[in-house]
Structure 1
Amino acid sequence: MGTFFSEPGWLCLTVTAVLGGTILCKLKTSPGQVGRKVVCLAGLWGGACLISLSLFWGLVLFSLSYFVMYTYFSGQELLPVDQKAVLITGCDSGFGHGLAKYLDELGFTVFAGVLDEQGSGAEELRRTCSKHLSVLQLNITNTQEIQEAYSKVKEKVQNKGLWAVINNAGVLGLPTDGELIPMTEYKRCMAVNFFGAVEVTKAFLPLLRKSKGRLVNISSMAGGVPMQKMAAYGSSKAALIMFSSILRQELSKWGVKVSVIQPGGFKTNISGTSQMWETLERTVLDNLSPEVQEDYGQDYILSERSLLRLMKTCTDPDISPVLLDVRHAISAQSPFAFYAPGKLSYPWLCFASFSPTGIFDYLSRKIYSYGKKMPRVLSTSNWENEAM
């Protein structure tokens, strides 16, 4: 008790309060969700210090931890925009469309790659954005279009180089059991979500190296958390994360910084339209062998559409956390390697990484089986006896 009211004790308490207040002020002005995990970790560390040590030394270590955090956040100051040029893929709708508008408003020179330059999304960008935004026809699975886009960007940026490439374009496919997903869907997800991003990156890296700029790849929480029904999509996004992690190390010698965004559940157009769902369902049914179709049953396969409806109704329509994290990734002096915007994205990623596999699988089964249909054979009462 006497130690706490001694001058060193009061000094440590004062330093902790001042540093803590300064850090909280910095967090309020920092874009996105960059500080939440740091504050949580600092709180746990400080609590452990106070519990395990004497009050005086606990406050000393607690103050030091806040000092380290203060130094860390000093590297999060945002660089001036200064009309830096950025390329974004998949700007027809969703994250890409929102990013193009947002970065244009901030004063960036934006090259908005779209799948259809005559589509409504492209027309809206031309109508609502400034003269610093250019719409580019850019199907990232088309090598010729990638090369043409590169030539146009290089001609415009000239010696300044390209400050950032944001690989956002992606497809979801029909969420269903991995056994039921046709190989064409596996290949389509890999072609767009992985190979397309890799080819765009390789094409534009000379411009990024010239500017010592940023590479930002939009992955997904599904790339780090094993999610049932997402075998094709999740695998392609996991491949993108590994590619990004390796390039982060390789490109550091060039001064290029690489970040991965792993958003949680946000409402975008990636889930597609009812017409697209019907086409995908028919593709699934047409590619199943009679044995597999008999075991699962057509009712089970068609019921998978309910997951897409759930995605449309239960996801967050406010994509601003993603926009803010991307801004931090391309503007901060020391951007993070990974961002997890979304209410449950970061906790789920941590849980999937650190929890025992048995516990994670048990909870996953409980979540995905709630209110869901079972395959036809599994729903029969005598299936287990027949299997034995």
Structure 2
Amino acid sequence: MDALASSPLGWLCAGVTALFGVTALCTAQRSPMDKANVLLWSLLPALLGLLCLALLGAAGGLVVFLATCLISSTYLGGQILLPVGDKAVLVTGSDTGIGHALAKYLDSLGFVVFAGVLDKDGPGAEELQRSCSGRLSLLQLDVTNATQVKEAYLKVSEKVQSTGLWGVVNNAGILGFPADGELLPMSNYRQCMEVNFFGAVELSKTFLPLLRKSQGRLVNMSSMAGGIPLPRYAAYGASKAALSMFSGVMRQELSKWGIKVAAIHPSGFRTGIQGTSDLWDKQEKELMENLPADTRQAYGEDYLQGLRSYLLHMPTCCDPDLSPVLGDVLHALLARRPHGLYTPGKGAYLLLCIFCCFPLWCYDFIISKMLSAEPVPREQRTSEDESKNL
């Protein structure tokens, strides 16, 4: 070991590691606990390299050292966050839910926040104005309204001027009425695509010149339903899947401009996206009016009426703590090497892995077991099912 410590290769390993560790610690904008984690991963290449130098000789030790450096660098690149400074971020859909919580969270961290709201005089907008700092600006922004998108661009560009806009978070979205894809009217499909996909695409295209100036971040709020097929989410899931694919293509195309793109696929969180009772009445009426007689007969009145109880039950199955989503969005905005895809929430990553890595019949079987307590359409019921419904 004395010979090893005095060898040029040993000193080279130690010197490179020390430089690596000091640089990582100086750039890390984290808590003492996180900095200790960074230090550990910085020391790992030297420890393994020196050990392998002693056991495997110069060639083997050098290979292990370089491989460990590569792994540590990749890991630390995702752990090191850039300073907030005076970075400006636009968040759409800030009236309620994730967008509302995110606007508050980013404002509390010192960001200059542009909060796009559907109703500038609504309770959500008033709450933001009352509880946030003077850095936050409200924007009247319906992402399906090209005029409002253009006006928002002019207002933001006037404020950020030559520095550009650091981040755009396309969060605005609608759920529609969760029901079997056969039952949903075409207007539901079109509306989901208009808000969840076309609105996000138009807003992204409009604001990309400002992101190019800052070499900033584009973050698209997709959904677990945008990565895996889930029953009753044909319209919503298709629109979010389109957004996820758009994110992937933009991630590749915009990398040459230094712009980083990420998609967020949250699982079930309590955001209020399911809407109000009045909205349900309207959507349910539209659904019923557009059903052909034979389809209505096949599913049965009790099955159709059970769709509303599914909506009422949804919030009880959702996590009220939005912090996993907020943390992932922050990482996408500030990490030196952000991930292309984030899956905050219980089950989001697991189900995605099962869908991608296992045979489809396996995934379908798991989903069917998860939904085994759901009502059955009239024409598919056995006598046992009928007796349960009585």
The share of aligned pairs that are identical, in percent, is: 53
Q: How far off is 1:367 after superposition?
A: 1.7
CA offset at residue 310 of structure 1? 2.7
Q: CA deviation at 1:154?
A: 0.6
Deviation readout 1:151-182 (Å, 9 max, x if unpaired) = 10011111010100000000001111000011
Give TM-score, length-normalised by structure 2. Answer: 0.82
Secondary structure of the residue aligned to 2:182 is coil
Alpha-carbon contact 1:31-1:327 (below 8 Å) kept: no
Higher alpha-carbon deviation: 372-381 or 101-110 = 372-381
Contact 1:164 1:215 (8 Å CA) reproduced: yes
Of 81, 89, 93 in structure 1, the residue corresponding to residue 84 of structure 2 is 81
Which one-letter code corresponds to 1:90 in the other structure? G
RMSD: 3.0
**Quick one: which amino acid aligns to residue 160 of structure 1?**
T
| Partner in structure 2 of residue 348 of structure 1 | 351
Change (3 A) 1:96 1:30: farther
Tell me if the contact between 1:31 and 1:325 (Cα under 8 Å) persists in the aligned partners. Answer: no
Asked if 1:334 is matched to 2:337, the reply is yes
- Matched residue, 1:131: 134
Match of 2:7 in 1: none
**Cα offset for 1:131?**
0.6
Counterpart for residue 378 of structure 1:
380
Q: Aligned-pair distance for 1:374?
A: 1.0
Q: Partners of 2:131 and 2:138 in 1: how far apart?
A: 12
Q: Superposed, which structure 2 residues align to 1:1-388 within 5 Å?
A: 67-76=69-78, 77-368=80-371, 370-379=372-381
Partners of 1:171 and 1:296 lie apart in 2 by 26
Q: 1:83: how far off?
A: 1.4
In 2: Cα distance, 1:323 partner to 1:97 partner: 11
Aligned-pair CA distance for 1:341: 0.6
> Runs ≥4 in structure 1, deviation > 6 angstroms?
59-65
Task: Report the secondary structure of 1:75's partner residue.
Answer: helix
Higher relative contact order (CA 8 A, sep 6+): 1
User: What is aligned with 2:48?
Assistant: none
How far is 1:69 from its partner?
3.2
SS for the counterpart of 1:130 is coil
Counterpart Cα distance in 2 of 1:102 and 1:165: 15
**Residue identity matched to 1:282:** K
Which TM-score applies when normalising by structure 1?
A: 0.82
Question: Can you list the C-alpha shifts for 1:204-259, whole angstroms capped at 9, x where unaligned?
Answer: 00101111110000000111111000000000000001011111111111110000
Contact kept in structure 2, 1:31 and 1:328, CA below 8 Å: no
Amino acid at match of 1:312: P
Query: Considering only CA atoms, is the larger Rg found in Structure 1 or Structure 2?
Result: 2
Aligned residue for 2:46?
A: none
Alignment deviations for residues 320-368 of structure 1 (CA, whole Å, 9 cap, x no partner): 0110110010101111101111121111111111110111112212222
Contact 1:111/1:136 (<8 A) preserved: yes
Q: State how far apart, in whole Å, the 2-side matches of 1:29 and 1:246 are.
A: 34
Distance 2:306 2:33 in 1: 40
CA–CA separation in structure 1 for the residues paired with 2:138 and 2:184: 34
Structure 1 unpaired stretches of 5+: 1-6, 40-54, 383-388
Moved more, 167-176 or 62-71: 62-71
8 Å Cα contact 1:111-1:153 kept in structure 2: yes
What amino acid is aligned across from residue 185 of structure 2 in structure 1?
A: P
SS of corresponding position for 1:169: coil
Q: Secondary structure at the match of 2:379?
A: coil
